Amino acid sequence: MNNKLPTIKEIAKRLNVSASTVSRALHHHPSIGQVTTMRVHKVAKELGYEVNKSAIYFKERRTYTIGVIIPSLAEPFFSSALSGVEDFAGRFNYNVIIGQSLDSIEREKRIVENMKDHRVDGILVSLTKDTSSYEHFENLKKYNIPIVFFDRVPQMTDIHFVSCNLHSGMLQAIAKFIDMGHEKIGLINGPAKMAATLQRLEIYFKCLKQNQLAINYDIITSTTLTKEDNIKAMKKLIIQDNPPTAVMVFNDYVLLDCIATVKAAGLRVNRDICFISFANLPVWEYMDTKPLASIEQFSYKQASMATDFLFKLIERNSKGESPNSDFLQRIIDSELVNY
């Protein structure tokens, strides 16, 4: 039994034409007549011929593959983002390689190196919570592999990125708390190295000042996003003699641990202490205890727009243009979603 795949030469021999004629006919080259093209495709189908995509990729200097690096697929925010990437990439018949950093900077570096070795045409990245140096991304420039960051982006100006403007959503959140009569509004923020942490803090200060509320540093705390740290941060606020009656929380994942901590202390969620957080997780729909609201950051939209940017950069590469001739950047407004 012959288990070898048929070749162009076998098709050419069957039809008594040259291999180059077969090759051009398979690609519907205009120099080959319609009858010949039809005969070639008919014989190719009969023999079970398959196009050698590796040879095409080598010739076109493309692999028709992009890489995506995200912190964790277990988080609905990033699984939604991945859907945005794959839906957009699918329109161009591109494959998507996924790498989970699991919020480890060393793992993120290894994934970048692996994707570089596989010669992906471009990479989409949402950074780890600890990424503060970007040499592993800068190194990709000499291989002409473009990068677009989304959601968790570096604090740099000369990058391609899509992110979410949190000010609009947080301003709506603070206004909601104030309308309900809250004046002591706490903040549970994220890891110090994350750009989003500093951004949330700056917006929190700005929103309080805009509403003539005093800044009280005793009701501002942070977490490294681990369960233990989330619980510790919540306990720090509720054990105070005069605890906050409302709290802005870094994201919905942190809030899940905060809610459990509040309940364990015998307090009532959205009665004794009210919450608004970020991410707008689908899981709230199925829970009895939920925050007053959550701030939508549009993960699917961010990721699909970032993929669009990446394909524009890949196209620049194919034309011999510099992918960094101008930087593609977009900031999407966040939006408060009430429950």
Query: pLDDT per position in the chain (339 positions), as tens?
Result: 456 778 888 888 989 999 889 888 887 788 889 989 999 999 988 888 876 655 555 555 678 899 999 999 999 999 999 999 999 999 988 999 999 999 999 999 999 999 999 889 999 999 999 999 999 999 999 899 999 999 999 988 899 999 999 989 999 999 999 999 999 999 999 998 888 898 899 999 999 998 899 999 999 999 999 999 999 999 999 999 999 999 999 999 999 999 999 999 999 999 999 999 999 988 898 999 999 999 999 999 999 999 999 999 999 988 888 777 789 999 999 999 999
- pLDDT, residue 178, reads 93
* Predicted pLDDT of residue 54: 55
The confidence score (pLDDT) of residue 58 equals: 55
**For residues 327 and 311, is the Cβ–Cβ distance under 8 A?**
no
Beta-strand ranges (E) seen in 88-198 are 95-100, 122-125, 147-150, 161-165, 185-189
DSSP string, 169-181: HHHHHHHHHHHTT
**DSSP, residue by residue, 287-326:** -SS--SEEEE--HHHHHHHHHHHHHHHHHHHHTT--TTSS
Three-state DSSP string of 182-211: CCCEEEEECCCCCHHHHHHHHHHHHHHHHC
Rounded Cα distance between 164 and 113, Å, is: 28
- What is the model's pLDDT at position 19? 87
Predicted pLDDT of residue 56: 54
Q: Kindly report the number of other CB atoms within 10 A of residue 236's CB atom.
A: 18
pTM: 0.80
Q: Work out the number of other CB atoms within 10 angstroms of the CB of residue 31.
A: 7
Enumerate domains of the chain plus CATH numbers.
8-51 (no CATH), 63-163+299-331 (3.40.50.2300), 165-296 (3.40.50.2300)
Please name the residues in contact with 264: beta carbons below 8 A apart, sequence gap of 6 or more.
none
In the prediction, which pLDDT does 26 show?
Answer: 83
* pLDDT for 1: 45
